[in-house]
Amino acid sequence: MATIDIAKTFPTVIEAVGAFSETLLAKSPRTRVNYLSALNRFQEFLPTVGLAPETATTDQLPRDVLERFYTWLLRVHGRERRTTAVTYVGETRAFFRFLDRRRWLRADLSFEHIKDGLRELIGRVPYKTPRVDDAVALVVTSVKAVPLPVADERNGQRRLELLRDRAILTTLYATGMRRQELSRLNRSDVQDGRSAEGLITGKGEKERVVFFDDDSLAAIRAYLQARSDTYLPLFLRHDDGRGKPGPRGERWRLSPQSVWAVVKRYGELAGVDATTHHLRHLKARTLLNNGAQLSEVQDLLGHASPETTKKIYAPYTRQHLREAFDRFSVPAEEVARRARRPEERG
């Protein structure tokens, strides 16, 4: 990683990216990868405006550099990838916020100026709500339909994997957790499948309570009983290439990507396109269409803002609202019949 020459007033772009990357250590691995990927695209773009990342200093970045980066992304990837372009620019914008804090932008330029220019150029980009229908639930039922191998030496590994996968899929649907949240679960969080709720660390390192149903708890207990170990992670790898367990089995903890792969595998078995996030959306839609309030779903899913919940899940409540409309609406004629005529009032 490049180091900054303290004799300079301003670092080069590459040096600044190196300094910024160090501030991402507290972020999740996935978030860090996303930010650095966006900055790689940004550094690919800079030569098109006459700036070499290795030699150009941060005070040389023009006022409209992020606006030009956005239009470059559209030219390279096409307008149909507008959402991707907005994501890259948003993640690069965090880098400019960092530069502003360090006073590494030129004197007549501030992060607010950059942000205002982007807002006018990009405008609003609608969130595309995933089209998730009830068929996604087949992912959960398909794993239960797979016959459980007998408990012998030859089938031991496959039996453990199937019990684990049943626990993963029922837990994802029951709780609406993200894959990273599920990967972080420790067996103590659910008291080895005896606790109906648990405190987890979610997105943005924020804690929240998640709730388990009888089905998910039974699957967790069956999996842990078959494991017969005391390792800390709730979900483990059971493949031959997992190496040594490490302290308390931490090296065997199932990764978020592996959780995603479990869902994809059983989705293919069930004949549906499904991801961990599809299960999360299905849980939210089911709650909303059965009478849960948006504020309740916000808390259950761990959204920081109620606007996020409303923006993403409000379309799923239309059928619920239609039913309420039909159930509680009263024709004007009926209302009129109940009313007293003026001459009948006192």
CB-based contact 263:274 (threshold 8 Å): yes
Quote the CA–CA distance of 260 and 274 in Å, as a whole number: 9
* Cα atoms found within 13 Å of the Cα of residue 242, Cβ hemisphere only: 17
Give the chain's radius of gyration (CA, Å): 26
Residue 178 catalytic? yes
Two structure tokens written together for 187: 């067996």
Which of 82, 97, 203, 310 is an active site residue? 203
The torsion defined by the Cα of 197, 199, 200 and 206, in degrees rounded to 10, comes to 130
Residue 313 catalytic? yes
Which of 178, 179, 184, 237 is an active site residue? 178
Quote the CA–CA distance of 65 and 106 in Å, as a whole number: 13
Q: How far apart are the first and last CA of the chain?
A: 88
Which of 164, 179, 237, 303 is an active site residue? 303
Quote the CA–CA distance of 22 and 165 in Å, as a whole number: 36
Quote the CA–CA distance of 249 and 229 in Å, as a whole number: 9
Work out the burial of residue 94: count CB atoms within 10 Å of its CB; fewer than 13 is exposed, 13-18 middle, 19 or more buried: middle
Which of 173, 231, 313, 316 is an active site residue? 313
Which of 41, 159, 238, 280 is an active site residue? 280
Residue 128 catalytic? no
Q: Is the dihedral of CA 37, 39, 42, 46 positive or negative?
A: negative
Residue 187 catalytic? no
Residue 77 catalytic? no
Provide the 3-class DSSP secondary structure of residue 198: strand
The torsion defined by the Cα of 97, 100, 106 and 112, in degrees rounded to 10, comes to 60
Which of 63, 106, 113, 277 is an active site residue? 277
- What is the enclosing helix (H) or strand (E) of 286? helix 276-289
Q: Which positions are annotated as active-site residues?
A: 178, 203, 277, 280, 303, 313
